[in-house]
Amino acid sequence: MKDTHKITLFFSFLFLISSAIAHSQSKTDSTLIKNKEIEEVVVTGQYSPQAIDKSIYQIEVISQEDIKNRAASTIADILNYNLNFVTIPNSGTGDSEANLFGLDGQYFKVLIDNIPLVTDNAMGSRVDLTKINLDNVERIEIVRGSMGVDYGSNSLTGLINIITKKKDSSKWRISGYVQEETVGNEYDWKEKGRHIQSLSVSHNISDKWFVSVGANRNDFQGFFGSREGKRYYQNDGNRGYEWLPKEQWSADALINFKTKNFTAFYKAQYLHELVNYYNPITKYAPLEEGGLYTYSSIDRDYSTDRLMNQLFIEATLFDKINYKGDFSYQKQDRKERDYFYDIAQREVFGEKPPYKSYQETEAWYTRGTFSRFLNSKIFDFQLGYEFNFMENFRSANSTPIGGLTTSGFKGDAQRHLDTYDVFASGEIRTLSGLSLRPGFRTSFSSKFDNQYSYSLAMKYILTPDSNIRAEFASTNRTPNFEELYTYFVDVNHDVQGNEDLVPEKGYSSSIHWHWKTKPGSDFRSEINLGTLYIDLKDKIELSTINTQPLQYRYINVDKYLSWGLHMGSSFYYKNLNFTLGASYFGVSEKLEDDINGIKVITPPDEYLYTFQLNSSIHYNIPKWETTLSVYYKYNGKESNYVFNSSTDTYYLGKQDDFSMLDASIRKSLFKKAIELTLGVRNIFDVKNIDTTAAQAGAHQGPISSLNLFYGRSYFAKLGFNLNL
């Protein structure tokens, strides 16, 4: 990063906190934060880790056991079956993004141990969920609804906090697995299917020190579908893959230090991803002057490298105040290269040229909170800061290859966006069972006017077995680099960013009722009922600003409303666990009556509703050390207003409903030293979903179907776990 004052400020905070810790006297305090060995302890949005029932927020937890039962390797594998999440893969680029409550990934944050993950345009938003593997994950915490005060902008619909493992009960643990999957009905050992290998080693050096390292390889060989692969030579559009081949290598390392009054860990994570695009356009001609005639194509490799460093400190300052501090440096570099492929010889012609970066993001981030100022069980408050320094480089428009291209800034350019946030909240706990937490955040930016967020969360204990939670909160979404600075102009395209954009302002309100039976009996049940309302103003859209010639620009034009009901329930009887959930949500998107002469015909105040249902069944057979699992989700029909550039109007598009079903069996052997998991994904063999409700991009034709899945697939996972 060229601006050295940002780095100086970043490390000055680290030095200041370290100095305060060094000059504090050690003191044993039974109320200090401990990693308690209790079930479903959560940290997201909490002053200190606590049982999920005591959290003032409604938090959903996906456990490590659930991850194992699904043989899930990425976050995308998990979220497909959660209510109101719709994971949308891009078979043309290999990326994937999830929508929540009808809004895309720009409106919820993805965190790893409270640190937002760097992406192409921002921190924590529009995260490619297929780039996060689950090998070292302890649990996943999900909060639905605005978390703007606690976690800043881009968290209107909620957040996902991925909590990694930082301890182990064994002196030494060596574990790993191999996993083989078909991709639809395609599989072989070398050039078809999905092949995953993983290895991790952890060691308790002493009661205070813990270290771990791990590595994972996820090799997705692509999905042929109706295509013929990279060796096909006919110029009829059938060469290549419906889903591009993608190989990921990821590695992580952790060192953790813990005493009664002080905890610190440093963690590093690295990802390398290679996506191969095979051009359907071929030609029969010499590859060099005087050479022999041969069939060839110009193909492209896309490479992504992402590095994440994190330092966490938790300590008692001045013998009283609890401090938690996160410090992170992240960098993501996306590169591409084109090369000639000799199809007849089945080899690359010459040497592949070096990669050229087309997008690079670099971020310094720090977040800290101070709490427990008062030794009171009735009232506590928290003060916090969050500083984020981001720089984004984009090359000028790259040369399109078979319709694939990367848009950039005007010329090879670098842009930066810095934010400085401070926030505060207080928690009041009354003897009557009522808890209140008001909060406020101020955001200062190098680009935009000051932004303010506020919230009021409430929890009331109705009975020892039930409680009710409510929250009203606001948050903003700052325009990302793409919306601000995109410049994609050539003979066929005219898509431009807008530096005059203003941040979106969003509000959410929710009410949740939770009830569960008393523990101790063979039959137990748990029910959650809730409602959520979202109001988003000044929503940014890529809109047509001129029809002759056709030009697009990002502008603040929309108002987005969403509300609905959702239910979740769990029932336990001895070794059987059954869950059932449902949601019914509607969206109303009010567009301007007239946008540069283009008439908009969206009916006012009309909500378009969607129904979803999910369920799971788990049956454990202790004698056989076996667990049987079944997962089901129904995605109801969807409607959406889509702009038709040929008539300059909006029409009501429809999208078909579909159902998903997975099943697995997990068997442990030799006292859990060996574990075998077999299963089937997408049993109903869903592939393409008919739709007229999907908005095409600039200069694209109408979309008639979404390529969401590649059909029914089978998997086998063999793992080992050695405790030494």
Which candidate, 202, 288, 236, 266, places its Cα nearest to that of 14?
A: 266
Which candidate, 720, 623, 624, places its Cα nearest to that of 667?
A: 624
Q: How far apart are CA 585 and CA 609, in angstroms?
A: 5
Report pLDDT for 405. 62
Q: How far apart are CA 100 and CA 564, in angstroms?
A: 13
Q: How far apart are CA 416 and CA 266, in angstroms?
A: 27
Report pLDDT for 4. 47
Give 253-306 pLDDT, tens digit per residue: 999 999 988 999 999 999 999 999 999 999 999 999 888 999 999 999 999 999
DSSP-H helix ranges across 486-538: none
SS3 content of the chain, % helix, strand, coil (to 5): 5, 60, 35
Q: What's the DSSP call for residue 481?
A: H
Q: How far apart are CA 268 and CA 345, in angstroms?
A: 42
Integer CA distances (angstroms), 155 to 321, 505, 555, in order? 28, 11, 21
Integer CA distances (angstroms), 352 to 298, 337, 356, in order? 11, 8, 12
Integer CA distances (angstroms), 422 to 331, 471, 475, 489, in order? 24, 21, 14, 39
Our measurement of the distance from residue 676's CA atom to the centroid of its chain's CA atoms, rounded to an integer in Å, reads 28
Report pLDDT for 92. 64
Report pLDDT for 34. 37
Are 462 and 482 spatial neighbours (Cβ–Cβ below 8 Å)? no
In CATH terms, is domain 4-723 a member of 1.10.268.10? no
Tokens 């200062």, located at residue: 444
Are 393 and 482 spatial neighbours (Cβ–Cβ below 8 Å)? no
Report pLDDT for 592. 58
For residue 111, what is the enclosing H or E element? Answer: strand 108-112
For residue 674, what is the enclosing H or E element? Answer: strand 674-681
Which candidate, 448, 113, 549, places its Cα nearest to that of 312?
A: 113
Q: Identify the segments of the chain with pLDDT beneath 50.
A: 1-2, 4-38, 698-699, 701
Q: Which two tokens stand for residue 186?
A: 């395609």
Angle at alpha carbon of residue 273, lines to 271 and 278, rounded to 5°: 175
Is it true that the peptide bond before 549 is cis, omega within 30 degrees of 0?
yes
> 3-state class of 165 per DSSP?
coil
Give 44-95 pLDDT, tens digit per residue: 999 989 899 889 999 999 999 999 999 998 888 888 899 998 888 776 667 7
Cα distance from N-terminal residue to C-terminal residue, the chain: 44
> 3-state class of 720 per DSSP?
strand
Q: Which two tokens stand for residue 569?
A: 């329930």
